[in-house]
Amino acid sequence: MFVTIQKLSLDVGLDESYIRKMIKDKTLTAYKKDGYKRIYVDINEFEATIKPINQTEPNFDLEQFEV
C-alpha cells in the first residue's frame, strides 16, 4: 500500500524530515504517479526498516513488573 510522506508522518508519529532523509539515504524508495507532484512511500517497505533496539526475553512475564 502506498501513502504520501505527510500521511505516513501522521500515522507513525515521525517528522516528515526524517522520512525524507530516509528517501535521500536510499533506505526507502520514493514513488510518483505520472502528472502528480506528490511522493508516495510503500508502507510495507517502511515497516520492514523498523527494527527493535534490544531483543526482549522470549519468556517475558508482566507479573514481574509494576503496571
* Region of residue 34 (left: phi > 0; alpha: psi -120 to 50; beta: else): beta
The structure's pTM equals: 0.71
In three-state secondary structure terms, 65 is coil
The per-residue pLDDT string of the chain (67 residues; one tens digit each, 9 = 90 and over) reads 999 999 999 999 999 999 999 999 999 999 999 888 899 999 999 999 987 756 666 676 777 776 5
